[in-house]
Structure 1
């Protein structure tokens, strides 16, 4: 009886925290559908009355928004694909293979979690400037390919897979490459989905490095591009357009999370279970 009561209490507490967290999100969404002249008088209320889509139309009329959106899609998808390839291969190596300095190397990878990315901005900027690679997709993608949390997540997941599956495959003279591609990868779909979604979110929402590397408006990502026009919108166009741009930039991430939330929960649970 006590366990049931405590479980219900936890569910109620989590629900309350979720409601508190969602209130600002709903507020931004509602304001994005209100006319600016209404918002100039008051921003209160959680109903979009009167209703308008003019704010979104105004955002899309900015000439470079489609280009910024294209750059974000290219950077996020390429980054996600390459990170999944590198992290899955490294995770399998650390979890299943024996090679010199395996433990110190893994400790070094995990230690990378303690290094804030802002601490290496100056060396990164100088390096890419010397190579003449700023304002390119390569410069936007490459610094984000080293993901220690991805290697750690995949290592923990591969360690949780029973070794009997590999031993059975070796009896059929399967190589490490065959075992990795035909057994381990199909079983790791939840972990790969989780890592891929986290990587995509990071790539899509990344602001500081694109702000440093992409100095030309033609190479802005959607986050940097929308931020660059918010000053003008806030002064002349109004708060509704600002909220519409925020919703416009975050909508793909919310959609992905809704679609893949089942895989996220499964991947994190199985990785943490080890």
Structure 2
């Protein structure tokens, strides 16, 4: 089948937009390979020599970085798993179970999407301070487990799954939990991957709550720790080091996205991975 002129133009436009979107990322990566002394003179000669890995070496020279990476991995990983579990259970309940006040409760969950984060920072800070959970993994993870978007996403995905599959399992004497865990949940893998990458990205890049909850350097996440190492003149005298920090912090997210890319595309397209 010959490709129509419209399809070719559309493909060319998509490629052009992709290249345009990638240019800032390439610019950041190129700056990270330049010495700060060179960048103080000019920032336009990105493809010319010399290149250096000194900025990355300076990041790794700080022994606390490895602790910060560990903290970020623990916080983002555990938070993502718990968000997936809670959102899946809540989404299945809203999609398949009938109970009094169901519409009201679902509306309240969706109303959480409209609540700005700064509006709840002070109550959360006082609550976790009274519980003595600041400077702990629990204090960094628990406030982010409420995920209205995740509940909404999983509810809509469960509604799209034919009820006949569950009815067949229930007729074979499978319990509701077995039906959910072995029959229905595996079918939601594209939605799980999409929600997982969004949750991990939000947790990995979170700065406001760790800034409030983690006051000890050993409990810093990577985002907070790298920000703490920046000087007052980082954007002028340490631009290469600043860009290297951005690349270093973004690498785990890029790897995770590349690994789950086909599931995310399938979820957006409404198909199966």
- Normalised by the length of structure 1, the TM-score is 0.92
**Distance change (3 Å), C-alpha of 1:101 and 1:8:** farther
The answer to whether 1:210 aligns with 2:207 is no
Aligned equivalents of 2:48, 2:197: Cα separation in 1:
31
Q: CA deviation at 1:236?
A: 9.7
Taking a change above 3 Å as real, the CA distance of residues 109 and 8 of structure 1, as seen in their structure-2 partners, is farther
Q: RMSD in angstroms over aligned alpha carbons?
A: 1.9
| SS of structure 2 residue aligned to 1:188 | helix
The answer to whether 1:31 aligns with 2:38 is no
Contact 2:75/2:203, CA 8 A, preserved across alignment? yes
Q: Which residue of 2 aligns with 1:75?
A: 75
Residue 31 of structure 1, CA deviation: 1.0
State the distance in 2 between where 1:143 and 1:48 align: 46
Partner of 1:94: 94
Q: Which residue pairs with 2:239 in the alignment? A: 239
- 1:1-274 alignment runs, 5 A limit: 4-47=4-47, 49-231=49-231, 234=234, 238-270=238-270
* 1:85-130 per-position Cα deviation (integer Å, ceiling 9, x unaligned): 1001111111111112111111111111111112111111111112
1:9 to 1:176, Cα distance in 2 relative to 1, 3 A:
same
Please list the CA deviations of residues 167-218 of structure 1 after superposition, one character each: whole Å capped at 9, or x if unmatched: 1112112221111011011111111111111111110000111111111111
- Distance in 2 (CA, whole Å) between partners of 1:235 and 1:51 is 19
Contact in 1 for aligned 2:40/2:236 (Cα 8 Å): no
Structure 2 unaligned runs (5+)? none
Structure 1 segments of 4+ aligned residues over 3 angstroms from their partners: 3-14
Higher alpha-carbon deviation: 198-207 or 260-269: 260-269
The whole-number CA distance in structure 1 between the counterparts of 2:105 and 2:7 is 41
Query: Which TM-score applies when normalising by structure 2?
Result: 0.93
Q: Secondary structure of 2:63's match?
A: coil
Q: Deviations over 1:29-50 (max 9, x none)?
A: 0111112222222111342621
Q: Give the SS at the match of 2:93.
A: helix
